[in-house]
Amino acid sequence: MRARESLALASVGSISHNGGMSEKVSFWFDPSCPWTWITSRWLVDVARQRDLDVTWKPFSLFELNRDQELPEKYRAHIDKIRNWGRISMAVAVEAPDKLGDFYTAIGTRAHNDGEPQTNETILAALADVGLDAKLLEQAEAGQYDDAVAASTQEALDLVGDDVGVPIIQAGGTAFFGPVMSPAPKGEAALKAWDGTLALAQTKGFFELKRSRDVGPIFD
């Protein structure tokens, strides 16, 4: 019950600057994913300009791939980053008001600064936002495994189980993506947001895709 109550608090809408209710957006993330990190920074930019109320929701790439047959190298990677989804859920449960700041801290360290995806980086990010290192101990012991599995399934129930993250719920719809590099900024960020929502809200629309020709660009 404690986990549900804490997560419910994290989902309460905030009052916008103009006195109305902010538009609510949910964003599922695994902090280890560089593509999700880029999309999240785009959403942060849009949220500042449009007064969106963003709820950050943990997702576990480990849970997504738990029962999948994977190439040995990718399986080793998925096993290595398991704690990254776990620690996000630990923060969501124990300090929901700091989840967004924690994601910013750990994402900046891992992606912008190139720090390794290890427990040491997790501990540094916890310290950045004033959270106790014991959260990692509790997460590694499996205390939040059921909760992060449930949050992962919640996202997949909205969009299907053949995708990963990022997953966004907004404007009465939900979708995987968008995947981009680098993230658009300012007015371009708003145009991308409006276009994404317009497509996602179109009845019968399922997919728009082209091959990536650049890697993750963080700026």
State in Å, rounded, how far the first CA of the chain is from the last one: 40
Structure token digits, residue 116: 């390794």
Domain boundaries, the chain: 23-200
Q: Are strands 167-170 and 52-58 parallel, antiparallel or unpaired?
A: unpaired
Q: At residue 208, what is the residue type? A: L
Q: Cβ-count burial of 180 within 10 angstroms (0-12 exposed, 13-18 middle, 19+ buried)?
A: middle
Beta bridge pairs of residue 21 = 15
In this prediction the pTM is 0.90
User: 131: how many CB neighbours lie within 10 A of its CB?
Assistant: 21
Token pair in block for residue 127: 């310290």
**Spans of the chain below 50 pLDDT:** 1-19
What is the maximum span of the chain, computed from C-alpha positions, in angstroms?
Answer: 53
pLDDT of amino acid 175:
98
Mean predicted lDDT score pLDDT of the chain: 91
Q: What is the Cα–Cα distance from 18 to 14, expressed in whole angstroms?
A: 12
pLDDT digit string, tens, across residues 3-29: 333 343 343 333 243 445 679 999 999
pLDDT for 174-210, tens place per residue? 999 999 999 999 999 999 999 999 999 999 999 999 9
CATH topology (fold) of 23-200? Glutaredoxin (3.40.30)
Q: What residue has token string 């991308």?
A: 192
**Identity of the residue numbered 191:** K
pLDDT at 79: 96
